[in-house]
Structure 1
Amino acid sequence: MTHRHALIAAALAGVCAHAAAQDTMGVPKADQEACYGVAKAGQNDCGTATHGCAAVATADNDPNEWKFVAKGTCTKLGGSLEAGKPAQDKPAKHQAEPAKAEPGK
């Protein structure tokens, strides 16, 4: 095999591997759902209307970027099951009561 043939074979192997990987991306396991607005920059699971690849989100919590999460946990994480909707506000762990002014002071 000549050097040229080896390069061509390597390039074709790369293209085939990439195509095979793309076929499995974007397919959730049975216990997962796509959750919008929770992906961190560079950690989205698949493409959107503006790009076609995983791991290319440019901003944290973009309402159009999504990640697979366990079913039933999306809204608990502050996300949405629909694209483009802003992420839900995460519930506060502890909310302090406002201080009350004492009479006469």
Structure 2
Amino acid sequence: MSNRTSQILSSAFAAALTLGLAQTAVAQDSGKEKCYGIAKAGQNDCANLSGTHSCAGQAKADMAPDEWKYVPKGSCKSMKGMTADEAKAKHGGKK
């Protein structure tokens, strides 16, 4: 692998990593929180706790405890949702 190719790959990796971190920061700064156990099938916001998928819209069942959606901060409990720690405990501590 040439030095130029190595630089391009390193830059691409760094950009992808930064993008992922920026999305998390935006969600936190926008007054939203992850709420587990409230997403309907096909309406989750991203990867689930069990690791069976890594993308939005791939939830297979309604209200699965390892699937989540972003909701306004402070509204998760009133929607009968769970925090990440509660969801991990309910899901058997997986991932």
Same fold (TM over 0.5): yes
Match of 1:35 in 2: 35
Report the CA distance between 1:50 and its aligned residue. 1.3
Match of 1:55 in 2: 57
Structure 1, unmatched stretches of 5+, are 1-18, 87-105
CA distance in 2, matches of 1:61, 1:85: 16
Identity across aligned pairs (percent)?
45
CA distance in 2, matches of 1:59, 1:75: 20
Aligned length: 66
Report the CA distance between 1:84 and its aligned residue. 3.4
Is residue 25–residue 45 contact of structure 1 (8 Å, CA) maintained in 2? no
Report the CA distance between 1:40 and its aligned residue. 0.5
Match of 2:88 in 1: 84
RMSD, aligned CA: 2.3
Q: Which has the larger radius of gyration?
A: 1
Letter in 2 for 1:79: G
TM-score by length of 2: 0.60
SS at match of 2:34: strand
- Give the ranges of 4+ consecutive aligned residues of structure 1 lying more than 6 Å apart after TM superposition: none
CA distance in 2, matches of 1:39, 1:24: 23
Instruction: Report the structure, 1 or 2, having the larger helix content.
Output: 2
Higher RCO (C-alpha under 8 Å, 6+ residues apart): 2
SS at match of 1:54: coil
TM-score by length of 1: 0.54
